[in-house]
Amino acid sequence: MTPYAELHANGQFGEAGYNLLFELTRQELRLFPSLQPATGGDNAIWDVVGDFLVERGRGVSTMLLTSASDDESVGRLLRKSLRNWLIDRVRRTSRGALRRRLTRLISEDERFEAVPEGQPGAGRWRLAGTAGPPTGPPFATLRAAAWGIRDVRIPPWNSEERRAPIADEPSLQRIMFAVLTEAGGSLEPETVVAVFADRFPHALDPAEVPLTNEATEVADGLEASDPAQAVVDMERDDDSARCAEDIYAHLSAEERRLLPQLHGTVREQMRATGLRKSQTYLHIKALRERLHALLGDEEDRGMMASELLRLCGGPVDGVPDSRGDVPSLPGSR
Amino acid sequence: MTDQPRRVPEHVLRAGAAAAASSALVKAVRAAESSATMPDPARGQLWRSCWEDITQLVLVLRVSQAGIAVVAPVTTDPPAADDTSAVLGPDLTVLEQPATVWGGLAVGVPLVVFDLAISDIAATVVDAVERVAAGHRTGVLPAGVSVGAPVMSAFDQAAEVRAELADNLEFLGQAAWAPQGSGSAPRPLRELLQSPPDLPALKDALGLGLPAVIDIVMSRRPVTPVQAAAVAAVTGLTAEQVLSAVSPLPAELVSELDRPRWRRALRARRRAGEPEAATRLAVAYGVLALAARQTGAVSTPSWPQRIRQYMAASPLGESAQ
């Protein structure tokens, strides 16, 4: 029997369906290096298949039975579900990493503390030396405080590292101080994590998909620029150039293709994403949010944007030196 | 993939068995697929809709006079929703699984995309779906119906799902197979040609017999996009000109063939790799030719009768020859 026939006969996968799921999982995992099992071999892949079935299986079986019209569509829809789940998994592990990073910040910086046991709101986070009660201000208020911190620095990231740093230590400290001050009391750690996740979308988004060959060549070309170009580069604002290269390293291959089309026509943008209109619009919006988070409100952001566009292979002259350009400003989302 | 099936570990088999779709749903799908007739869509029905490579479970909200039904996409995976979506509990549908009805994405789609009527949903629940989509939160929602959370960021998985669904619905909404201009004046291919057609060259290019080629030149027979390209290469016209040079199809015939009742029979006539639109075109012109032969009859058969006659008289697959 084929996977389609199995589903229609029993409402679940049979041998053919499991083998299809195994093969799709093996292929899709290649796109998510951070999720690849530490040990190779079929058993590790089967474990991922098992997790997928436990977490999403019922909804997926239902979806396939009601939506697929043949084996081809079973394969297409199953691959999509699997990829969605893997992306969600990356985000969950990234959120866990973000929480661990912030927990470390709270414990290491003497300006912050976790509310001790025996006090109201034990385990929550607050400014040290205050006795503020547990509080729950609107998310938008905390968000505004986080985004109000200027000159946030994103450390260089070697893409061979497993996870990109979200921001340098002083930047995180300043944002944490602003958020807890705005709260006027203690906050649930998960609330603080949500604020930071909003402020640093690049920390959660799975931009870990390996670069395509084409994009890798572009990146390689950066390091192998000719001496004349190197002199020109030195004349640039060093900080801007370095920041742009750091930001470039945080972008996914698709975002690098899409960035030169940020102000292009919808048709050009759709060509860059290979998607239809609504999905392309969403990707453009996400890229704007990511750029805003990465570029922030630096005074030299126009220069960084130009440099970033150059790295992405776009026409530098095409970047208007305007604060309303490449990244969207706070409140414009 | 390897040719040899892999041995599936026990823990995966257990997880797969626990993830089986509800037996009620399996029965409903089997019953729908084996049903002798497929109904027209009506409010409150859950349908599988599809066109080309896009397939989508939808809830019918209303059907208009013009052969258009307003539908909302329904999803069970991934578990996502927005604040214009109603999340239906497992007890409310035959899916027996939490399902999101994305009422905020409701659009009109032509009847041609309706494929399989799976089940009905209670009228009170459909009303609730519309209220949630319209942002009217006053009044109590039926038990088991809840409202999704707002999408806060472009990085929210719900945003990605919503965008994909919007694209799917837009694609389904644009599904069409009849040549544009059907119902208007014909523009036969022979009138577009500057000189007499090279029939032997057309025979070779199309791989068809002379009668079929003459029918195409006289615009009595439709051409598929592939055939249009072949004709264009021989005649010097553009493929678009060739495609536009077909006899118009009566709007009533197009509407009739759009009804879900014909889809299974039409699909059965498709040859491997042939687009559904090409099969529909071929059948439509076949029916039209049959109708032309029947002109003058004392009582004119209806389009459904003619379609049935044509289907019965023409062996499967002939339409694509």
pLDDT in tens, B248-301: 788 899 999 999 999 999 988 888 877 898 889 888 888 887 776 666 555 667
Min Cα–Cα distance to chain A from B164, Å = 6
User: Is residue A153 classed as helix, strand or coil in its secondary structure?
Assistant: coil
Pair A290, A202: CB distance under 8 Å? yes
CB-nearest to B154 from A63, A87, A289 is: A289
3-state secondary structure A232-281: HHHHCCHHHHHHHHHHHHHCCHHHHHHHHHCCCCHHHHHHHHCCCHHHHH
**Is A211 a domain residue?**
no
CB–CB contact A7 B21 (8 Å): yes
Cα A293 from Cα A286, distance rounded (Å): 11
Which pLDDT does position A48 carry in this prediction?
A: 95
Tell me how far apart the terminal alpha carbons of chain B are, to the nearest angstrom.
34
Count CB pairs under 8 A between chains A and B: 170
Evaluate if residue B236 carries a pLDDT over 90.
no
CB–CB contact B77 A56 (8 Å): yes
Min Cα–Cα distance to chain B from A126, Å = 25
Cα A86 from Cα A65, distance rounded (Å): 22
Name the domain boundary from A202, A234, A259: A202
Residue among A45, A46, A66 with most chain B CBs within 10 A, to mutate: A66
Min Cα–Cα distance to chain B from A85, Å = 7
In eight-state DSSP terms, residue B248 is P
Cα A37 from Cα A28, distance rounded (Å): 12
Question: A224 and A319 share a domain?
Answer: yes
Nearest-CA neighbor of B125 among B146, B105, B106, B108?
B146
Cα B43 from Cα B63, distance rounded (Å): 7
Question: A150 and A239 share a domain?
Answer: no
Write out the two tokens for A53. Answer: 């079935």
CB–CB contact B163 A279 (8 Å): yes
Range of the structural domain that residue A21 is part of: 3-93
Which pLDDT does position B106 carry in this prediction?
A: 97
Cα B107 from Cα A40, distance rounded (Å): 47
Min Cα–Cα distance to chain B from A69, Å = 8
Amino acid identity, residue B298? V
Judged by CB atoms within 8 Å, which residues 169-208 of B form the interface with A? 170-171
Which pLDDT does position A152 carry in this prediction?
A: 81
A68 touches chain B (CB under 8 A): yes
Min Cα–Cα distance to chain A from B141, Å = 24
Nearest-CA neighbor of B229 among B208, B210, B202, B254?
B202
Question: A320 and A239 share a domain?
Answer: yes
**Is A101 a domain residue?**
no
Question: A221 and A191 share a domain?
Answer: no
**Is A299 a domain residue?**
yes
Nearest-CA neighbor of B99 among B123, B83, B119, B75?
B75
DSSP string, B61-82: EEE-TTSEEEEEEEE-SS----
From residue B223, give the alpha-carbon distance in Å to each of B211, B212, B249, B274, B287: 14, 11, 13, 12, 15
Sign of CA dihedral B184, B190, B191, B194: positive
Which pLDDT does position A91 carry in this prediction?
A: 84
CB-nearest to A11 from B25, B78, B171 is: B25
Which pLDDT does position A250 carry in this prediction?
A: 72
Question: A89 and A140 share a domain?
Answer: no
Residue among B2, B3, B12 with most chain A CBs within 10 A, to mutate: B12
Pair A79, B38: CB distance under 8 Å? no
Cα A80 from Cα B75, distance rounded (Å): 13
Count of positions (residues) in chain A: 333
Nearest-CA neighbor of B32 among B50, B45, B17, B44?
B45
CA angle centred on B273, ends B269 and B279, rounded to 5°: 35
Question: A186 and A238 share a domain?
Answer: no
Which pLDDT does position B295 carry in this prediction?
A: 63
pTM, entire model: 0.78
Name the domain boundary from A159, A179, A202: A202
Which pLDDT does position A33 carry in this prediction?
A: 75
Cα B228 from Cα B243, distance rounded (Å): 6
Judged by CB atoms within 8 Å, which residues 26-85 of B form the interface with A? 26, 29-30, 33, 46, 48, 50, 53, 55-57, 75-79
List, in order of start, the domains of chain B with CATH numbers. 23-173 (2.30.30.110), 189-313 (no CATH)
In chain A, DSSP finds a helix count (H) and a strand count (E) of 14, 2
**Is A53 a domain residue?**
yes
Which pLDDT does position A220 carry in this prediction?
A: 38
Higher pLDDT, A47 or B212: A47
Evaluate if residue B319 carries a pLDDT over 50.
no
Which pLDDT does position A4 carry in this prediction?
A: 95
CB-nearest to A12 from B19, B77, B162 is: B19
CB-nearest to A204 from B56, B155, B170 is: B155
A76 touches chain B (CB under 8 A): yes
CB-nearest to B19 from A57, A91, A286 is: A57
CB-nearest to B57 from A7, A66, A276 is: A66
From residue B189, give the alpha-carbon distance in Å to each of B180, B222, B321: 15, 11, 19
A245 touches chain B (CB under 8 A): no
In eight-state DSSP terms, residue B225 is H
Q: What is the mean pLDDT of chain B?
A: 87
**Is A149 a domain residue?**
yes
Cα A201 from Cα B159, distance rounded (Å): 14
**Is A58 a domain residue?**
yes
Which pLDDT does position B240 carry in this prediction?
A: 74
* Residues of chain A below pLDDT 70: 38-39, 156-164, 205-240, 296-301, 303, 314-333
Which pLDDT does position B226 carry in this prediction?
A: 67
Which pLDDT does position A299 carry in this prediction?
A: 52
Question: A31 and A122 share a domain?
Answer: no
CB–CB contact A279 B8 (8 Å): no
Which chain A residue shows the shortest CA-CA distance from B11? Answer: A50
User: Is residue A126 classed as helix, strand or coil in its secondary structure?
Assistant: strand
Amino acid identity, residue B145? V
Which pLDDT does position A222 carry in this prediction?
A: 36
Write out the two tokens for B307. Answer: 């379609």
Q: What pLDDT band is residue B239 in, cutting at 50, 70 and 90?
A: confident
Min Cα–Cα distance to chain A from B197, Å = 38
pLDDT digits (tens, 9 = 90+) for B24-77: 999 999 999 998 889 999 999 999 999 999 999 999 999 987 889 999 999 999
Name the domain boundary from A93, A124, A149: A93
- Chain B residues with beta carbon closer than 8 angstroms to that of A85: 78
Higher pLDDT, B137 or A289: A289
Pair B175, B263: CB distance under 8 Å? no
Write down the ipTM of this complex.
Answer: 0.82
Cα B320 from Cα B283, distance rounded (Å): 9
Number of structural domains (chain A) is: 3
From residue B250, give the alpha-carbon distance in Å to each of B143, B253, B254, B298, B307: 48, 5, 6, 21, 13
**Is A103 a domain residue?**
no
B273 touches chain A (CB under 8 A): no
Which pLDDT does position A96 carry in this prediction?
A: 87
Containing H/E element for A113?
Answer: strand A112-114
- Burial class of residue A296, CB neighbours in 10 A (0-12, 13-18, 19+): buried
CB-nearest to A15 from B5, B98, B163 is: B5
Evaluate if residue B315 carries a pLDDT over 80.
no
**Is A60 a domain residue?**
yes
CB–CB contact A15 B8 (8 Å): yes
A211 touches chain B (CB under 8 A): no
pLDDT digits (tens, 9 = 90+) for B146-176: 999 998 778 888 999 999 999 999 999 999 8
